[in-house]
Amino acid sequence: MNLAKEDKRMKKAWWKESVVYQIYPRSFCDSNGDGIGDLNGITGKLEYLKELGIDVIWLSPVYQSPNDDNGYDISDYRRIMAEFGTMEDYDRMLKRAHELGIKIMMDLVVNHTSDEHAWFVESRKSKDNPYRDYYIWRDAKGGKEPNNWGACFGGSAWKYDEKTDQYFLHLFSEKQPDLNWDNKEVRKKVFDMMTWWCEKGIDGFRMDVISLISKRPGLPDGPVGRSGYGDHGCANGPHVHDYLKEMNREVLSKYDLITVGECSGVTVEEAKKYASAEGTELNMVFQFEHMDLDGGENFKWNHEKIRLTELKAVMSKWQTELAGKAWNSLYWCNHDQPRMLSRIGNDTKEYRERSAKLLGTCLHMMQGTPYIYQGEELGMTNYPFQSLDEFRDIESINAYHELTEKKIVSPEDMFDYISYKGRDNARTPMQWDDSRQAGFTSGTPWIAVNPDYKEINAKEQMEREDSVFHYYQKLIRLRKEHEIIVYGDYKLLIPDSEELYVYMRSYEGQRLLVICNFAEKEMAYEVPEELMGEEGDVLISNYGRTELGHSAVLEPYECMAVLYA
C-alpha cells in the first residue's frame, strides 16, 4: 500500500475524531426556577456529558437577544442573554468544561443581527449614518418591495421603514435584518468579535446559515412559489468563498478550532470548496439534502415519509464524493428538525429503543464528525401537540397562519404538519428524571415537557445497562477505539433494498460491515461474498447478537456493526 498517499488523503485531525453534542440552552437545564434553561444549568450537567463521552459541545446562541427567534437574533455579541446568566457564569462553564476535557463550539450568527443590535439601531436612523451600509437598504420599486423575495419565516423578505422611506432586507424574521457582507467594515467587525471569543479560549464556531451571506448582485427576482413570493436564491452567492477565506486568514487559521458551516442549499461540489481538505475555509458543513427528502411544494409542511432508498443514495453520495477531498458532518437531529426517531424510526413503545439504537448505529459508523442533539441519546420523541397555543416557534406559527389564511392548506392539515415537522418537537425540555417537569425546572417551563418523560429520562437510562444512553456511550467509545470508523472508506451495499441499509467501511486491510434493518419486520440477510468464510467480531448490536454467520434473519429494527480484521 502506498502509505504516503493514504496519509495525505486522510490527514488526521482531532475534530475528525470527535463527537459533538448540541445543547439548546433554553431547553437543557434550568438552575434558577424561571422555567428557562441557563448556563449554570449546563455547568451542572457537564459530568453527565463527560460520562456520555462526547468531546465537543455546540452551544446554540447564548448572546444577548430579544428572542424573536430564540437567540438567533443577536443584539450584542459580547454579552450573555440575561435569562441564561452572566459572563461570569459563561466563564465558569467554559473553565469547567475544559477541566473535563470538553471543548465548546459557539454558534456564530452573522448572516443577520437583531434589529435591536446597536449597528442596526444606528443604520435605520438616516441614509447617511455611518452604519447605514452595514445592512441592505433599497428604495421601493413601483411602489412595492424592491424585489419578490419571500422570507424564510413567511411574508416578504423586505420591511418598509418609514423613517428613511426605504426597505431593509431580512431573509428570516423582520427582527433579523441581514448584514451587508460586501461592506469591508462589517467583515472586520465580525472578525474582531470572533477573535474576542477565541481569545477567551473557546474552541470553535458553528456558523449559522453561512452559505447565505453573499447576495447576488442586483438582487434579482426569483421564481415564484405557491406562497406567492420568489425564491431569494442567496445560497452559495458570488463572494461567499472569498469572505470565508478572508475569515480563515484573519481569524480561524490563528487558532486550533473546530468549524462547521450551516449551509442550506449546499451541493457536494460547493461543499468541497467550503470544507476542502486544504483547510482554506471551514472544517465541514451541515448539508440538508437528507433532511429535504420529505419536503414538497409547501416547503417542509407535509406528512411525507422518507424512502430508505433515497436516503441511502443521498448519504452515500456525500460519503463517497467528499472522501479525501472534504469532510462530512453527520446528523439526524438538531433544534430545527423534528425528532428523527419519530420521522424515520419507530417511536412506539415496542420499537422505540431499538430504532433509536438503529439510527445511532447507522449514522455513527459513517465517515464524518457525528453530532448528537440533546435527548437523542435517550431516544426522545416528537411532542404530542393538541392545540396551536402549545407552539412557541416563530417558523411554525407563521407558516400556519400564512398557509391557512391563503387557503393553500386546510387548518386541520396544517396543524397536522406543524405537529409532525415543527421545530418545537426538538425544543421541549431535556428529560432528566421522572420528577415534576422531568427535572428540567422547579418552575413552569417556557415550553411544555413531553408527557413521556416518566418513561424516557436520563436517570432511568443511566441506571439501566441496555438503555439507549449506554448504547450511545458505546458508539462514541468505539469511534475512539477503531480508526476505521473515523477514517475508513465507505461503500454502500444492496442500494435497492427499501428495508435494509447496509454499508461497508474499509481501512488498512480491515473491513467493518454495518447492517441496519429499517423495517418493522424480519428480513433475511446474506453477508457479501468477499466476507464469506471470514469470522467477524460484532462490535455493537441492538439485539445482543454476538456473532454473524454467512446469513441471518434480522429482527425488526435490528442493527449491528461487525469488524473483520
Binding-site ranges for ligand NOJ (CB under 6 A): 69, 72, 109, 172, 208-209, 262, 335-336
Q: Distance between CA 446 and CA 34 in Å, rounded? A: 8
Radius of gyration of the CA atoms of the chain, in A: 24
C-alpha cell at 357: 439504537
Q: Which region holds residue 209: left if phi is over 0, alpha if psi is between -120 and 50, else beta?
A: left
Q: In this structure, are residues 159 and 167 in contact, taking their beta carbons and an 8 Å threshold?
A: yes
* Residue of 261, 206, 204 lying closest to 235 (CA atoms): 261
Beta-strand runs (E) in 74-125:
76-80, 103-108
Please report how close the Cβ of residue 330 comes to ligand NOJ at its closest, in angstroms: 17
End-to-end Cα distance, the chain: 17
Q: In this structure, are residues 191 and 132 in contact, taking their beta carbons and an 8 Å threshold?
A: no
Q: Which residue's C-alpha cell is 471543548?
A: 103
> Cβ-count burial of 293 within 10 angstroms (0-12 exposed, 13-18 middle, 19+ buried)?
middle
Q: Distance between CA 257 and CA 244 in Å, rounded? A: 15
Residue whose CB is less far from ligand NOJ, 335 or 364: 335
Please report how close the Cβ of residue 262 comes to ligand NOJ at its closest, in angstroms: 6
Residue whose CB is less far from ligand NOJ, 409 or 426: 426
Q: Distance between CA 467 and CA 379 in Å, rounded? A: 9
C-alpha cell at 382: 416528537
Please report how close the Cβ of residue 184 comes to ligand NOJ at its closest, in angstroms: 23
Residue whose CB is less far from ligand NOJ, 72 or 385: 72
**Catalytic residue status for 99:** no
Please report how close the Cβ of residue 72 comes to ligand NOJ at its closest, in angstroms: 3
Q: What is the longest distance spanned by two Cα atoms in the chain?
A: 78
Residue whose CB is less far from ligand NOJ, 209 or 251: 209
Chain-centre distance of CA 461, in angstroms? Answer: 24
Instruction: Determine phi and psi for 54, rounding to 5 degrees.
Output: -70, 160
Taking CA atoms, 520 is separated from 94, 281, 344, 359, 376, in Å, by: 44, 43, 11, 14, 21
Please report how close the Cβ of residue 258 comes to ligand NOJ at its closest, in angstroms: 17
C-alpha cell at 509: 486491510
Active-site choice (38, 145, 203, 262): 262
Residue whose CB is less far from ligand NOJ, 59 or 109: 109
Active-site choice (38, 69, 145, 208): 208
Please report how close the Cβ of residue 110 comes to ligand NOJ at its closest, in angstroms: 10
Residue whose CB is less far from ligand NOJ, 170 or 352: 170
Q: Distance between CA 423 and CA 404 in Å, rounded? A: 19
Encoded amino acid at 350, one letter: E
Using CB positions, name the residue nearest to ligand NOJ. 72
Residue whose CB is less far from ligand NOJ, 336 or 499: 336
Chain-centre distance of CA 537, in angstroms? Answer: 32
Residue whose CB is less far from ligand NOJ, 159 or 479: 159
Please report how close the Cβ of residue 153 comes to ligand NOJ at its closest, in angstroms: 8
**Catalytic residue status for 547:** no
Q: Distance between CA 553 and CA 524 in Å, rounded? A: 4
Helix (H, G, I), strand (E, B) or coil at 486: helix
Please report how close the Cβ of residue 455 comes to ligand NOJ at its closest, in angstroms: 28
Helix axes 468-481, 352-364, angle to 10 degrees: 20
Task: Enumerate the active-site residues.
Answer: 208, 262
